[in-house]
A and B are shown apart, each in its own frame.
Chain A
Amino acid sequence: MSNDLLTIIDQDGKTQKGKDPGLPKDELQRLYRLMVATRLLDERGLAMQRQGRIGFYLQSTGQEASHLGAAYALADRDWLFPAYRQPGILLLRDISIDKIVSEWLGNSGDTSKGRQMPVHYSFREANFVSISSPIGTQLTHAAGAGMAARIRGDDTVFMTFCGDGGTSSNDFHTGLNFAGVTKAPVVFVCENNGWAISVPQCKQTASESMAIKAQAYGMPGVRVDGNDILAVYRVCKEAVDRARRGDGPTLVETVTYRMASHSSSDDAARYRDATEYEAWKKKDPIARFQLYLKQRKLWDETFEAEVVETAKAKLAEGVKLAEARANLGPESLFDDVFMNLTPQLKAQRQELAELMSKGGVGADVGHFPL
């Protein structure tokens, strides 16, 4: 049933009988480390924006279980077509803090060469495809990549993310429809965090759930507690296995909550009720997983201190490395429009270089209007 909500870990950290996916102890601890590191990364991102060191930031606080549990179900060779609230996946796939922060800064260490706002990452080394701001477009790309893999006979699986707002986009319908028709090996993860900037879910759809929409596309739709990392993992692992077997796509709805404002430019207090926030705070995904680990004797205060200290040390080191990196040179402005510069781009680059050699041009650097 598309409207049932699967939960494995309850509020007291106890698991439902027979539902625990049975991950090895060291892997459970690794997931906990990743959740903590993701939240600390997020706090640092917002802090650096508030300090004026970066121009913009989008937080994922509260959604750590939702995206980490989902991506943990993939094999390394599988591809991700992310939205912009899944930073934990970068840590899961061993992207360094240095590279992540370099993207925020848009400096010479940024893999996307300062071409996009902070948090719009591209990491080919992690099969993490470039993020764009338009909502939902990646859902159709994932379907197409899945179609291509089927044609080639590869067993790669593609996981793509959107939010509750994303389910209203053209590409939600299009991506799911194409994937359904072609049985593309795609896992569509809708992280339903309740809010699309200031618009609540009830104004986004009249459907009883997001998962139920899967029925229209001829694929299973599963609704899962997005603040329960074991439940998200279990559901997504089944979906990934199904896709790899050639049985087609799945829509997973992770029910979670956006604990922060939409972005560093937004103030959720202007449109959200504080009681809603307080209620969700009690369901915090990290606290819940911590209780579970404690029950299993995989967590104590000493472990916690070590986890936090290690993550903070890595963060501090990565930020330091990134901030020491050089700015981008002006010539890179014209690269990568096409594989080769066109005569027109060459002429424009030359024109800018000549003006810059006279001084004054481009001196107005460093404002963050957002």
Chain B
Amino acid sequence: MTATETKTGTSKAGTKVMTLLEAITDALRHEMKQDDRVLVFGEDVGKKGGVFGATLGLQDEFGEQRCFDSPLSECGIIGTGIGMALYGMRPVAEIQFLDFIYPAFDQIVSEAAKMRYRSGGEYTCPMVIRSPYGGGIRGGHYHSQSSEAYFCHTPGLKVVIPSTPADAKGLLIASIRDEDPVMFLEPKALYRHAKGEVPLGEHVVPLGKARIARDGTDVTILCYGAMVPVCLAAAETAAQAGRSIEVIDLRTLVPLDEATVLESVKKTGRCVIVYEAPKTCGYGAELSAIVGERCIEYLEGPIVRVAGFDTPFPYTLEHLYMPDQKRVLAGIEKTFVW
């Protein structure tokens, strides 16, 4: 390990059952306690504790200097966050919904992402941009989109998406300690639905390492965020029909754990990629290209993408837009019969 890599590990303080949302608050509290450079800010994160409650209680505990409301401007939240990071702080900015991030796009892709490179390493921007993303809450276009691909396409940004409470805590802590800007996208559909044991105290999950969520031998499913439980359910159904499905939760889209992905696909010979963003040019397109380039000789069937449609995110017909268990199962079958 180099001196610059974040130390990973879990303390022996026991565990507690938490929702994914509670695990995020726990991670923020843990980091604010151990590093006074960590600042939490954004719209409504102070007294209200955020529209979903991710920062609940932090202002009371750490004061208005460490957890504060910003004016209503995403460009300002990210732009001032960059200034704070340049000056040596560890800002954790909340963008209320990923759908509202576009006024800050210039600051993210032209400034935060390029600061280290363009200054020859003289200036860096260690900040975390937290934002709930994705469908499943009947939020229409502007509270549902899954636009991770824009950020994955920008050199200089790391992109992290957890799917379990324990990973949400461990990955968020690793993101805050990272020396580069991290887009930390939270599957809002799982905020209160995902519950699980979360280590208390220190718990760091390294960026760039995927998790094998279910072992299998016939088909590999690559997925992340809110699609992980959908894929696990589909894998369970497929198992009853005699299909052994391996489910890989990518956890970090940038940098991608290619080794785990390729090892799995080489073993199974079949690959289904599941993501809820519009299909065209989504992150799944990149995954498909990597699998095609690197292990075509192992493939027994076509690489199949199960994704959102190339439509704006719908309100009434959300249930048809979002990939569900049935569409994943149909995708699995396509790798056998085409």
Q: Are B255 and A112 in contact (CB under 8 A)?
A: no
Set B2, B88, B122, B255: member contacting A343, Cβ < 8 A:
B255
Given contacts A112-B120, A148-B87, contact A175 B180 (CB under 8 A): no
The answer to whether A337 touches B258, judged by C-beta atoms less than 8 angstroms apart, is no
Within 8 A of A (CB), among B200-225: 208
- Whether B147 sits at the interface, judged by CB under 8 Å, is no
B9 at the binding interface (Cβ < 8 Å): no
**Bound Cα distance A130, B89 (Å):** 18
Q: How many angstroms between the C-alpha atoms of A336 and B25 in the bound complex?
A: 31
Which residue of B5, B83, B87 has the most chain A CB atoms within 10 A of its CB atom?
B83
Interface centre among A79, A123, A129, A181 (most CB of B within 10 A): A129
B65 contacts the other chain (CB 8 A): yes
Closest residue on chain A to residue B256 by CB atoms: A344
Q: Does A144 contact B (CB under 8 A)?
A: yes
B-side contacts of A340, CB under 8 Å: 2, 4-5
Asked if A144 meets B117 with Cβ closer than 8 Å, knowing A137-B106, A174-B76, A337-B155, the reply is no
A271 close to B (CB within 8 Å): no
Considering the complex, give the chain A residue whose CB is closest to the CB of B178: A339
Q: Is A116 an interface residue (CB 8 A)?
A: yes
CB-based contact B258/A137 at 8 Å: no
Q: Which of A122, A181, A342 contacts B123 (CB 8 A)?
A: A122
CB nearest to A154 among chain B residues: B87
B110 part of interface (Cβ distance < 8 Å): yes
Contact residues in A for B110 (Cβ distance below 8 Å):
132, 134, 137
CA distance A152 to B36 in the complex (A): 9
**B259 contacts A by Cβ under 8 Å:** yes
Q: A115-B118, A115-B120, A120-B118 are in contact. Are A148 and B83 (CB under 8 A)?
A: yes
**Any chain A CB within 8 A of the CB of B84?**
yes
Report the minimum CB–CB distance from B175 to chain A (whole Å).
Answer: 13
Mark contacts of A191-220 with chain B using CB atoms, 8 A cut-off: 1 yes-contact digit, 0 otherwise.
000000000000000000000000000000
Select one of B39, B87, B118, B254 contacting A145, CB under 8 A: B87
CA distance A120 to B119 in the complex (A): 9
Cβ proximity bits B8-40 to A, threshold 8 Å, 1 near / 0 not: 000000000000000000000000000000010
Q: In the complex the two chains form, what is the Cα distance from A204 to B89 in whole Å?
A: 36
Contact among A129, A181, A335 for B121, CB-based, below 8 A: A335
In the complex, per-residue mask of B237-280: 1 if CB is within 8 Å of any chain A CB, else 0: 00000000000000000111011000000000000000000000
B230 adjacent to chain A (CB < 8 Å): no
A63 interface residue (CB < 8 Å to B): no
Q: Which residue of B lies closest to A347 (CB)?
A: B258
What residues of chain B lie closer than 8 Å to A336, measured between beta carbons? 116-117, 120-121
Do the beta carbons of B115 and A147 come within 8 Å of each other?
no
Given contacts A147-B84, A343-B259, contact A140 B75 (CB under 8 A): yes
Q: How far is the CB of B77 from chain A (nearest CB, A)?
A: 9
Whether A337 and B84, one on each chain, are in contact in the complex, defined by CB atoms closer than 8 angstroms, is no
User: Closest approach, in angstroms, between the C-beta of A216 and any C-beta of chain B?
Assistant: 13
Q: A122-B119, A130-B123, A137-B106 are in contact. Are A146 and B259 (CB under 8 A)?
A: no
Tell me if B89 and A148 are in contact (CB < 8 A).
yes
Chain A residue numbers with a CB within 8 Å of B121 are 113, 335-336
A343 touches B116 (CB 8 A): no
Instruction: Tell me which residues from 323 to 337 in chain A have a Cβ below 8 Å from any Cβ of chain B.
Output: 335-337
Interface size class of B (residues with CB under 8 A): 35 or more
Q: How close is B112's CB to chain A, nearest CB, in angstroms?
A: 10
Check if B80 is an interface residue, CB within 8 A of chain A. yes
Cα distance A149–B37 when bound, in Å?
Answer: 11
Q: How large is the interface on A (under 10, 10 to 19, 20 to 34, 35 or more residues)?
A: 35 or more
Question: If A137-B106, A140-B107, A147-B80 touch, does A337 touch B117 (CB 8 Å cutoff)?
Answer: yes
In the complex, chain B residues whose CB is within 8 Å of the CB of A144 = 79-87, 91
**Smallest CB–CB gap between A157 and chain B, Å?**
12
Separation of A170 and B111 alpha carbons in the complex (Å): 14
Restricting to A320-367, which residues have a CB under 8 Å from any CB of B?
335-340, 342-344
Given known pairs A130-B119, A132-B118, the reply for A344 and B255 (CB within 8 Å) is yes
Residue of B nearest to A110 (CB): B120
Alpha-carbon gap, A148 to B39, bound state (A): 9
Complex contact A122–B116 (CB within 8 A) = no
Would you call A167 an interface residue if the criterion is a C-beta within 8 Å of the partner chain's C-beta atoms?
Answer: no
Chain B proximity mask over A119-139: 1 for CB below 8 Å, otherwise 0 = 010111000011010100100
The answer to whether B118 and A151 have CB atoms under 8 Å apart is no
A263 CB–B CB distance under 8 Å: no
Candidate in B75, B88, B89, B107 with the most chain A CB atoms within 10 angstroms: B75
Q: Does B70 interact with chain A (Cβ within 8 Å)?
A: yes
Q: How distant is B45 from chain A, measured CB to nearest CB, in Å?
A: 15
B150 to chain A, nearest CB (A): 17
B187 at the interface (CB under 8 A from A): no
Q: Which chain B residue has the least Cβ–Cβ distance from A130? A: B119
Q: Complex Cα distance A86/B86, Å? A: 20
Chain B residue, CB-CB nearest to A158: B83
With A and B bound together, what is the CA distance between A339 and B178 in angstroms?
Answer: 9
List residues of chain A with CB within 8 A of the CB of B79. Answer: 137, 140-141, 143-144, 171, 174-175, 178
Name the residue among B2, B82, B84 with the largest chain A CB count within 10 angstroms: B84
Nearest Cβ distance between residue A61 and chain B, in whole angstroms? 26
5 cross-chain pairs, A with B, having the tightest CB-CB distances, nearest first: A144-B83, A140-B79, A144-B80, A342-B255, A130-B119
Please name 20 further chain A to chain B contacts, defined as beta carbons within 8 Å, in addition to the given A141-B86, A148-B88, sorted by A numbering.
A111-B119, A120-B118, A129-B119, A129-B123, A130-B123, A132-B111, A137-B111, A140-B75, A140-B76, A143-B79, A144-B80, A144-B85, A144-B87, A170-B75, A170-B106, A171-B75, A177-B71, A338-B156, A343-B259, A344-B258
Report B's interface with A, CB cutoff 8 A.
2, 4-5, 39, 65-66, 70-71, 73, 75-76, 79-89, 91, 103, 106-107, 110-111, 114-124, 155-156, 158, 179-180, 208, 254-256, 258-259
Interface residues of A (CB under 8 A from B): 79, 81, 110-113, 115-116, 120, 122-124, 129-130, 132, 134, 137, 140-149, 151-152, 170-171, 174-175, 177-178, 181, 335-340, 342-344
24 pairs of residues in contact across A and B, judged by CB atoms under 8 Å: A81-B83, A111-B122, A116-B118, A120-B118, A124-B122, A132-B114, A137-B107, A137-B111, A140-B76, A141-B80, A141-B83, A142-B83, A143-B83, A145-B83, A148-B39, A148-B87, A148-B88, A151-B39, A336-B116, A338-B156, A339-B180, A342-B208, A342-B255, A343-B258
